[in-house]
Amino acid sequence: MRSRFLRTLIVLLVMSLSVVAQNPELSKTVQPFVRVQATKLVLTHVRVIDGTGAPAVDDQNLTIENGKITAIQPGADVGKTDGTTVLALRGYSVMPGIVGMHNHLFYIERPNLDASRHFDPPVLVPQMTFSAPRLYLASGVTTMRTTGSVETYADLNLKHDIDSGELAGPHIDVTGPYLEGATSYFIQMPHLTSPERVRQTVNFWADQGVTSFKAYMNLTRAELKAAIDAVHARGLKITGHLCAVTYKEAAELGIDDLEHGFSVNTELDSGKKPDVCTDSDGGETIARLDPNGPDAKDLIRTLVSHHVAVTSTLPVFESEAGPGRPPVRQAVLDAMSPQAREDFFLLRQPRPASAPPPKIDTAIAWQHELAMERAFVAAGGLLLSGPDPTGRGDVLPGFGDQRGIELLVEAGFTPVEAIKIATLNGAIYMGREKEIGSIAAGKNADLVVVKGDPSKQVSDVENVEIVFKDGVGYDSQKLLESVRGRYGQY
Ligand SMILES: [Zn+2]
């Protein structure tokens, strides 16, 4: 009798602990953004896009209890009895929270940028610890990987403060500082010039709590090998934006993921020397690569057989895709700081006559990139998605994640396939597909409520109303208003 009482007590304690873990006390900073929070909540008459690539199902009731999805049933009216909160969502769709896999927490600053696109070195990446997490959550991103960090302690503390309910934002997989070789694109990267230093750096940051790593452009094969082995020894994963090392070399060395689709593989770049980055950073290779040719097939076969994921970052390349692109959304311009907006308009001016002509046809490269992403998935490859909010300043946290889904549709995926790439695939890569990434009973209630039907018109992914993270519904507009004119500033 007594032991049964104890057992019950322990079960109750564990249950209450898990409820606390799901729903921490939200601070006064976070509470104003909460639109709905209830022990039991039913979304009625909503269209469900479940994130698995299955067709959308109209008119469903979705029940959320203690932060989890507990039931998905045919739509029915539900009375507000027994403490159940009801949200009537006819005309709306619900999809899984976005799992953004190339989602930085910094901005890119080109000091003294002018109309001829000249700027003074060094390129800097100021931290956006205030605006970026709010933009991500407002846009439907509920989990993200930072994919290279600059202020790693800030990112780790941000993750802690979000998880404890102090600050608003998505769940974060904090990536360690860029593992970079002798020189670097921006000045805040470590310069690791030996395998031993790479190993030390990986172990130091794994000890501090980072949960992923990213190798960068000038790392050599020996250094990359040291990084991969050290990261795997800690039970973590490593991705790479590579240049000195080719995709096939990295696959053979055991890398887990490659950033920027197929656009930074340097294998066919002219004058490619082992362990040395090229002038075109892979631009020549993707422009030359026939997506139906033997080189492309061989590359895809190598990546798939080594279980290497590829992260699509189409938004950051879109400005090079050629004419006929849609204008940047007003909401994106509204989020930018005055300086960021000014720089964006300078960078989108036509290329000045004084500038050297581009070495490659970027519009062809864009078409090849789209075709390669399709072929990779058709061959069984795991394609992830993330916007890489850097570029010429119009790819913003969150908005860029939505644009990524739209551009995957331009690449030839159906809208529900594109949504799967941006949700479930990221969860699979992180080994978290039992908890997040799709809509199913038992999973965390990480959901995006959008007006319309993105399974038919993919741009409806932009119409975000409420973003649920662990069952708490955040008001997208209120989050956006709180960072209006701030992105690029802090
Ligand atoms: Zn990046």
Please state the three-class secondary structure of 318-378 as a single string: HHHCCCCCCCCCHHHHHHECHHHHHHHHHHCCCCCCCCCCCCCCHHHHHHHHHHHHHHHHH
Alpha-carbon distance of 132 to 107, in angstroms, equals 9
CA of 260 to the centre of ligand 1 (A): 8
Which residues are found with C-beta within 5 Å of the ion, ligand 1? 388
What distance in angstroms lies between residue 113's CA and the mean position of ligand 1's atoms? 21
How far, in Å, from the CA of 154 to the mean position of ligand 1?
Answer: 18
Q: What is the pLDDT of residue 348?
A: 87
Distance, CA 192 to ligand 1 centroid (Å)? 19
- Ligand 1 centroid to Cα of residue 178, in Å, is 10
pLDDT score recorded for residue 15: 45
pLDDT of residue 18: 43
Give pLDDT, residue 22: 53
Cα 44 to ligand 1 centroid, rounded to whole Å = 39
Tell me the C-alpha to C-alpha distance, in Å, between residue 405 and each of 250, 331, 464: 27, 17, 14
pTM to 2 decimals? 0.94
> Cα(150)–Cα(397) distance, rounded to whole angstroms?
16
Tell me the C-alpha distance between 48 and 289, whole Å: 39
Is-contact 244 278, C-beta < 8 A? no
Measured in Å, residue 262 CA sits from the centre of ligand 1 at: 14
Looking up tokens 């549709």 gives 409
Place of tokens 């452009």: 217
- Rounded CA-CA distance 187/121 in Å is 9
Residues facing 209 on adjacent strands: none
| CA 214 / ligand 1 centre spacing (Å) | 10
Other beta carbons within 10 Å of 293:
10
Q: Which amino acid is at 321?
A: A
Q: Residue 173 in contact with residue 146, Cβ under 8 Å? A: yes
Residue 3 has what pLDDT? 52
Q: Cα of 104 to ligand 1 centre, how many Å?
A: 7
Report CA(347)–ligand 1 centroid distance (Å): 18
Residue 486 Cα to ligand 1 middle (Å): 21
Task: Give residue 273's Cα distance to chain centre.
Answer: 32
Distance 102 CA to ligand 1 centre (A): 6
Vertex 246 angle, CA 240 and 251, to 5°: 65
Residue that the structure tokens 């396939």 belong to: 417
> What gap in Å lies between CA 167 and CA 158, rounded to an integer?
8
Q: What pLDDT is attached to residue 469?
A: 98
Which strand ranges, in their side-by-side order, compose the sheet holding 98-100? 98-100, 141-145, 171-173
pLDDT averaged over consecutive 10-residue blocks of the chain (490 residues)? 51 45 82 96 98 98 98 93 90 98 96 92 96 98 98 98 98 98 93 97 98 98 98 98 98 98 97 96 97 97 98 96 92 97 90 80 96 98 97 93 98 98 98 98 98 98 98 98 97
* Cα 468 to Cα 322, 332, 475, 484, distances in angstroms: 37, 22, 9, 21
Sequence length of the chain is 490
Q: Ligand 1 mean position to 40 CA, how many Å?
A: 39
Alpha carbon of 62 to ligand 1 centroid (Å): 36
Report how far residue 297's alpha carbon sits from residue 193's, in angstroms, rounded to the nearest whole number. 34
Q: Token pair for residue 184?
A: 């670097």
Find the 393 Cα to ligand 1 centroid distance in Å: 13
Lookup: tokens for 423 = 């949700």
**92 Cα–ligand 1 center, Å:** 33
In DSSP terms, 86 is beta-bridged to 42
What whole-number distance in Å separates Cα of residue 407 and Cα of residue 315? 7
